[in-house]
Every structure is written in C-alpha cells, then in structure tokens.
Chain A
Amino acid sequence: MLELLMRALIGGIGVAAVAGPLGAFVVWRRMAYFGDTLAHSALLGVALGFLLDINLNFAIVVLCVGLALVLVALQKKHIIATDTLLGILAHSALSLGLVAVSFLDNVRIDLMAYLFGDLLAISQTDLYWIYGGGLLVMSLLVTFWRPLLALTVNEELAKVEGYPVEAIRLLLMLLVAVVIAVAMKIVGVLLITSLMIIPAATSRKLSQTPVQMASMAGVLGCLSVCGGLWASYHWDTPTGPSVVVCAALLFLIAYTLPIRKTA
C-alpha cells in the first residue's frame, strides 16, 4: 500500500511540476480550450493503442501531437472561428474515442480511470514516461523561455525582432500536447486542463514576474497533488477529482485572503 502511494505521489508531483509552468502559458495565451481539445482526443489514443496493440502512452503522445499539428494547419486556413473549430474537434474526438472503446469487447477498459484519472494505478513504466516526458518538456521550456515569452507578449514585435515566430508557436503547442498525453493518467482526459490552468491562475495572484508565476504554478500543482492524495487516502475519494478540488481550494484561498500585492 505504501509503495502504491509513494508511486502515486512521485508520479503526480512529476506531472504537476511540468503542467504548472506550461499552464502559465496556457493561461497567458488563452489556450485552455486548445488544451481541452487535445485532452479529449487522448481517449481516442487509448482506443487506438488497444486496437493496434501498441504502447498506450506512445499512442496517446502520437495522437495529441498529431492533432496539435492538424489544429495549427486548420487555424491558418481560417475556415471557421477557432473556438468553433476546437469545439467540433474536442467533442468529436471524445465521442469517437468512446465509440472506439465500445468495440473493444475482448479488452476490459476502466473507462472511469481514463476519464477522471487513477493516480493509484500508476505503474513503474508510467513513471518513466512521466519523468522522461517531463524532463524533455522542462528543458525545452527553459531553453526557449525568452522566445516563448516574447511570442506570448507580442507576436508582431517578436517577429520584427527576428524570432522564428511560427516555429516557436508550434513548439508551444507540441509541449502542451506532450504534457497532456503524460498527465492523462493522473487526472484523466476530462480534468487535465484544470491541472494546468488552476495552479497557474492561483499563482498569478502571488507573483510579479513571469518566472515567478510559472515556477509558483508548479509548486502549487505539487501541493494539490499531495493534498488530493491525502484526501483520497483518508476518505477514499477518487484521486483525480480530489487533486482538482484541492487545486481549486488553493485558488479560492489565494483570491479571497487579503494578500498584499506590491505593484
């Protein structure tokens, strides 16, 4: 039991530490809906993984990254408004995933675990995926911090100053895709975006610089994971939703307590 909890804790912290800082970008660039779309499609990745009998984590990463690329391409064409496009893709992908899963009679899938996450079901292999993916995302985030931030603040200025704007935008979307694919195990496809945006939103109240906000988001995410696990252990509540509730509580506390903000 203790080993199970430890693994859950280590995995959860690994995910939250990366989801937080990246979540800051999701908040700044208003990409929450984009994240949701990728997350919902991850279930399709699970179904495909089973159907083609390939590693599930791998299938999810490939599907999320692929969808991110499709979205970037479609957005450029301006066929319909971006939020409509995202809405169509998000729910079609989720439904398609659910339909595909129903065809898998010979495999028993714990659908609830994929929709809402099951931190306690984390395996040793999952941990490798989490820390491998996490380290990759973190190092890219640190290396390209300034271009990413310049793009977020003002794309046109960044372009005139010679930043490769298109490439950086794509990088950010791919980073989000990887984090979502990896984080899915923890909080499930329906709750992933919350692990990205809630700690980041909480952190906004407590920070003066982008670096502060991003790192604080990581810390708050880790706290939420600890709190959620603790609640889950004591009251036998579902882990994924417990983590999200914990993050939401931190958000409420930060925004209701009179924390002095030095301008």
Chain B
Amino acid sequence: MSTRLAELQDIGIRFGERQLLSNINMTLHQGEIVTLIGPNGSGKSTLIRTLLGLQEPTTGKVVRHDHLRIGYMPQKLHIDPTLPLTVKHFLGLVRGVNKKDIRPTLNKVGIPHLENSQVHVLSGGETQRLLLARALLNRPNLLVLDEPVQGVDVSGQVELYNLIDVIRKELNCGVLMISHDLHLVMAQTDTVVCINQHVCCSGSPQHVKGHPAYQALFGIPGADSSLAIYAHNHNHVHDDSGEVVEEGHVHTASCQHHTH
C-alpha cells in the first residue's frame, strides 16, 4: 500500500456519561478515498474532529505522520453578517498562502467569476466549492471533508463528488469524507467505513453494501424497508459500477453549468 498519512489507534471518546465512540482504528493513505457513513449522532463528525486535533480523544491516540498536511472542509460556513468579506479575502486568510494561487484554485473548483463576491451571498453549492478551494490552498496531501455536498441539490452533488475525484487524482492526496449517501459516492470511494459508535463494517463499497450491519442501519438496497430513512428520490440512474448516468448528458467536473 502507498504512503501512510495518519492513523487512528483505538480511539474512544466519552462526553460525560455518554460513550460516543469506542475502539476506532483506521489508517489513511496517500491517494485513497475513504468514506465514513453512519446515522446522525453516530460520531462521524467527532471522529473527523479528533483526527484534525479539534477534539481530544478520551482514550487511544492519533498518529499524524510528519509530512501530513490537511486540507479541511467543514460542514458549513457561518460568517457573521457584520463582517464584510469577499471570496478573495476569505481565501487570503489561509496560513502562509501565496496570493497568486488563489485565482487558479478558484478556477479549479469552478467559481472564478465569484472572486470579488461577498461570501454571504453565495449559494449552497458555491459555498461548498469555496470551502473546497480553501482546503486546497493549504496544499494538502489529505483532504478531510465533512459532508462536502451539504445543501447542494442532487445533480450538484454528483458534480462535486466528481470534482473531488478529479482533485484526488491530480494531487494524489488521500481523502477522508463523511457522506450520507453511499450510492452517490460508491464510484469514487475506495473504502467505506460504516460507523455507529464503533466501526460496524468496512471495506469496498460493494462489500459494505451487502454487509448485514450496514443493511440493519440503512436498509437493504432495493427493498422498501421501513428503515430506509436515507432513501431519497433520484433523478438519475446508476450503471453497474455505480457511475451516474443521466439521460442525454453525463455530469462531469468540467461541466460549466450551475444549478441554483
């Protein structure tokens, strides 16, 4: 396997009386996309925050290898409306950023036209792209994405996932992301880790999808189970490998159109 970036060793987290996570072991490698899935309150975000050093584990430890540089994309961006801030200035806040990199990065995530817009007026999809740009400007070899497609409509979600995949290949970085929807991320994910306080199951997307622990949490794919709370209406179909096929047009990161 390729270079190790970071390892979570026997991570346990307890808030007061509540054991939020226990016995989590995970290794992140260069060039690999790992997707965390799990129900609300299963501790996905807490686990990510532990890796980032924003949360101290109660037990276990986080090993960050020397060359590790993390680009973090938080779940959402709240900027106080009393703070006037353009996209350009927001990205200029990255520690040690070279201002010359801002424009190419905006191009890469597909929002070069928003350089001088105020961050408060961006749509959901635009905000996610801005956050991705900020993560990229930290010159990461590990991208940590907490629900990168939150607040984005389904076709926009597909575009974003494709973009993340393109960036992963370009930078050969590792990716750790949280997703609610295994179907959408299947094609781009190498490893899926299903979490509910502990690791329920992990492996390739196909493997996890067929695993009883996954099915108990998310319902059996295709079956109209009462547990299938995460099911939503797809406006597209998947081919066998999980690639999205839409009638007449396949979305890729190079698509320049936006859905608002």
Q: Which residues of A contact B92 (CB under 8 A)?
A: 146
Contact: B83 with A161, CB < 8 Å?
Answer: no
Of all chain A residues, the one with the shortest Cβ separation from B52 is: A160
Give the Cβ gap from B85 to chain A, nearest Cβ, in Å.
6
Docked complex Cα distance between A263 and B74 (Å): 25
Q: Determine whether the beta carbon of A213 is less than 8 Å from that of B118.
A: no
Given contacts A208-B86, A210-B89, contact A263 B80 (CB under 8 A): no
Within 8 Å CB of A154, what residues of B? 74, 77-79
Is A149 close to B, CB under 8 A?
A: yes
Q: Which of A156, A159, A210, A263 contacts B83 (CB 8 A)?
A: A210
B95 touches A162 (CB 8 A): yes
* B82, B94, B134 pick with most chain A CB within 10 angstroms: B82
Q: How many residues of A contact B (CB 8 A)?
A: 28
Number of A-B contacts (CB under 8 A): 68
Contact yes or no, B93 A28, CB < 8 A: no
Judge whether B79 and A210 touch: CB under 8 Å: no
Nearest to A160 among chain B residues (CB) is: B72
Within 8 A of B (CB), among A16-53: 27-30
Chain A binding surface, main DSSP class: helix
Please report the C-alpha to C-alpha distance between residue A154 and residue B77 in the assembled complex, in whole angstroms.
8
In chain A, positions 195-249 with a C-beta closer than 8 Å to chain B are 201, 204, 207-210, 212-213
Distance A201 CA – B80 CA, assembled complex (angstroms): 13
Given contacts A146-B93, A208-B118, A263-B121, contact A161 B84 (CB under 8 A): no
Q: Which of A64-111 contact B (CB under 8 A)?
A: none
**A160 contacts B54, CB within 8 Å?**
yes
Which of A147, A152, A154 has the most C-beta atoms of chain B within 10 angstroms of its own C-beta?
A154
Which residues in B have their C-beta under 8 angstroms from that of A201?
82
Expressed in whole angstroms, the minimum distance between the Cβ of B91 and any Cβ of chain A is 11
B84 surroundings in chain A (CB, below 8 A) = 204, 207-210, 212-213
A-B pairs, top 3 by smallest CB distance, nearest first, are A161-B95, A150-B93, A160-B72
Given A150-B95, A209-B84, A210-B85, 17 other A-B contacts at CB below 8 A? A27-B82, A28-B80, A28-B83, A29-B80, A30-B80, A146-B92, A150-B94, A153-B90, A154-B79, A156-B72, A156-B74, A157-B74, A160-B52, A160-B53, A160-B138, A162-B95, A208-B84
- Give the interface of B toward A (CB within 8 A): 52-54, 70, 72, 74, 77-80, 82-86, 89-90, 92-95, 117-118, 121, 134, 138
Q: Could you jot down 10 A-B contacts, CB within 8 Å? A: A146-B93, A147-B95, A150-B95, A153-B90, A162-B95, A201-B82, A204-B82, A208-B118, A209-B86, A210-B84
